[in-house]
Chains A and B, each alone.
Chain A
Amino acid sequence: MKRLTLCASIIIVLVGSSVLTLINIKQSNIILTEKIDKAIDFQKESKTDEALKTVDEIQALWDKYYTTMSFVITSDKMTSISSSVSKLRPLLLLDKAEFYSECESIKFSIKLIYDSEFPYLHSII
């Protein structure tokens, strides 16, 4: 009976933590996407200082996201996003058009991470 109770507890913890992780990824994605959109808007309005501040916030958010998500997500998925995030500041300072493409790339990649973790039928099979 003890063994059964322990196994039931293990299953409940695993299911619970999986659901919580998914919710966490979704919340983090929403916050990151909002920040990126804000940075894009500031850059379009030529508010470079605000854009730079937002990019620094994005970097900080991403560092936190990377640390927590690396428990459940393979590092190669996150390495490309880390690379894109690190390019944002220099591209912004140089006022390069690639800034927008890197922003879109980050948004798409974090959405992909969520989609790959969500139990869609095509993901399971």
Chain B
Amino acid sequence: MIIVFIRAIILYILIVFCVRLMGKRQIGELQPSELVITIMLSNIATLPIQDTNLPMLMGIIPILTLVSLDIFISSLSLKSRMLRRWISGSPKIIIKDGVLDQKVMKEIRFSVDDVMESLRTCNVFDIADVQFAIVETTGNLNVYTKFDKQPMTPEVMNVKGASKNPPQLIVNDGKLLSQALDSIGFGEGWFNEVLKSKKIELKEIFLMTADESGSVNIVKKEDVRK
């Protein structure tokens, strides 16, 4: 039993390491080759845990081999468009100028239900509202709606304004994030002034955000609320 316990811990650490090695692409939307790797990794990892007759290396070696291969192929794909298309396929235009391309639908085996469901996830409930829709290599549908169905933007309304960066998290559970503070152009001196003016201490702060204009938002820790 203890062997199973120790193997489970080791393989868990290995899988986390491998997922980190494969990078953020793995955690986000998966390409076909990445989906294959993910499924295989999970199956292979369970084998040495379930069967103690199997040496653990028989799990570790294929896991490391598959991950390394995946990274090589991903890196080669970056350099070769042909390889990228061969491994991941290419995006398909399924709706153009408001017209559904049934030939493409048949090619990618997308049913009408699939199309409607994907449109609904993009907040589109009427196919007539769609100007352009692309099925990505991950199988997701991305939609560009017709002009009169698009959300109003300041540009369309001819409203001028300056772009500004979003607020940054500068205190996380009582800890000051100096790098984030620097990124908004303020130093610890300004920070201490703010705390003084709000009559609060760093250790009492659960969350604090600030932006480049100096406006702050503070959430206190619940156990110190009066």
Contacts and interface: CB of A to CB of B under 8 A. Distances in A.
Given A14-B61, A14-B64, A14-B65, A7 B53 contact: no
A4 interface: yes
A55 B68 CA distance: 45
Interface string B1-42: 000000000000000000001010000000000000000000
Contacts of B21: 3, 6-7
B140 to A, nearest CB: 26
B71 A4 contact: yes
B55 A74 contact: yes
A74 B54 contact: yes
Interface string B54-69: 1101100100110110
B147 interface: no
B72 interface: yes
A75 B57 CA distance: 13
Contacts of A14: 61, 64-65
Chain A residues touching B, range: 10 to 19
A10 B57 contact: no
A76 B33 CA distance: 35
A76 B54 CA distance: 9
A103 B182 CA distance: 75
Contact of A3 (B23, B55, B57, B58): B23
Contacts of A71: 55, 57
A11 interface: yes
A70 interface: yes
B213 interface: no
Given A72-B57, A74-B53, A4 B64 contact: no
A11 B57 contact: no
A73 interface: yes
Interface string A43-85: 0000000000000000000000000001111111000000000
Nearest to A18: B61
B75 interface: yes
Contacts of A3: 21, 23, 71, 75
A7 B54 contact: no
Interface of A: 3-4, 6-8, 10-11, 14, 18, 70-76
- A-B pairs with the 4 shortest C-beta distances? A7-B68, A7-B71, A75-B53, A10-B68
